[in-house]
Structure 1
């Protein structure tokens, strides 16, 4: 059975860098599950920064959707997995939702719970340690539009679901990791 370590924090808090150090220190063969999609120049830049930081020996699996498949595939050849990041993964799912799904919160929340549950189930099935990176997006003001409120709420619920399963949880603030579980 695999283990999950959750790393959370705000934007540019240093959470991905810390997660990369965890993966490098504890794994002999690291798989990197990348969830971002490069829709514009700014995202291309962010993706390039992440790529430049990781060792060439790490194998990257692009998984903007159905990342549980990538987790299972990666487990065949790796003992450590870095999933970066949960909130980008949720954004991908949310952006695929229909207008009808966006107005039916129970449907959207149920879909998100199942998607995160599928990730947890995949980690439970494999023999590796998985470090999941996520953003803490609920500490600010209440967003003015429905989509942003859904995103904030879904991210919070997903983070709770992952943290409940995780063996360790770290919050990264100002580049400083603090173990909270």
Structure 2
């Protein structure tokens, strides 16, 4: 494993569907880039299924990870990154749903997230779900989330140096070059 992340872009955007392997891919990128890794967790364990998923993600991470829980305040969490860190932000979809349920101003929060990611002291790998390739949801809340997630993903992709779409564990580069 290299401790030199000079080849990792400042902002890597990793996108994929549910259970696509996007988080595992992002973790591997971070592990290969630096021995100092910061994991920004946006999930909240409201039920047993989510608790199990969180534990599964935690078990995959080896030593060298520092976890900061930030279901809403991404800017403060990203500001905690040290220059020798590589930051893994997992994930924008849960961050967005947390803000939707908190009735936050999504435009303001999105601007703040993108500003924090692009001005972070360390390289950032940000994971998000692609939710626009399935059927049209049957309820207004799910349709609103799908729309907001699509808009957020477009803004994140535009701001990124590297954008990767992961399907069945296989990365497909959409923008930039893999390190």
SS in 1 for 2:44: coil
Aligned pair count? Answer: 167
C-alpha separation in 2, matches of 1:139 and 1:113 = 23
Give the C-alpha shift of residue 19 in structure 1: 0.3
Give the C-alpha shift of residue 55 in structure 1: 1.5
Q: Is the 8 A contact 1:112 1:158 kept in 2?
A: no
Runs of 4+ in 1 over 3 A off after TM superposition: none
Q: Is the 8 A contact 1:113 1:158 kept in 2?
A: no
SS in 1 for 2:138: coil
Q: Does 1:39 align with 2:33?
A: no
C-alpha separation in 2, matches of 1:154 and 1:27 = 33
Give the C-alpha shift of residue 66 in structure 1: 1.1
The corresponding residue for 1:85 is 91
Q: Is the 8 A contact 2:37 2:86 kept in 1?
A: yes
What does 1:90-105 correspond to in 2, within 5 Å?
90-97=96-103
Q: CA RMSD in A?
A: 1.4
Q: Is the 8 A contact 1:64 1:92 kept in 2?
A: yes
CA deviation profile, 1:78-121 (whole Å, cap 9, x unmatched): 42100000001011111122xxxxxxxxxx7xx22321221221
Give the C-alpha shift of residue 128 in structure 1: 1.0
What does 1:31-180 correspond to in 2, within 5 Å?
31-73=38-80, 75-76=81-82, 78-97=84-103, 111-180=105-174
Q: Is the 8 A contact 1:134 1:159 kept in 2?
A: yes
SS in 2 for 1:38: coil
| Greater CA drift, 47-56 or 120-129 | 120-129
The structure where helix makes up a greater share of residues is 1
CA deviation profile, 1:111-150 (whole Å, cap 9, x unmatched): 2232122122112323211000000001111111111001
Q: Is the 8 A contact 2:15 2:128 kept in 1?
A: yes
Q: Is the 8 A contact 2:21 2:168 kept in 1?
A: yes
TM-score by length of 1: 0.88
Unaligned stretches of 5+ in structure 1? 98-107
CA deviation profile, 1:57-96 (whole Å, cap 9, x unmatched): 20000000111100001x2364210000000101111112
Going from structure 1 to structure 2, the CA distance change for 1:77 and 1:128 (only over 3 Å counts) comes to closer
Q: Does 1:14 align with 2:8?
A: no
Unaligned stretches of 5+ in structure 2? 1-8
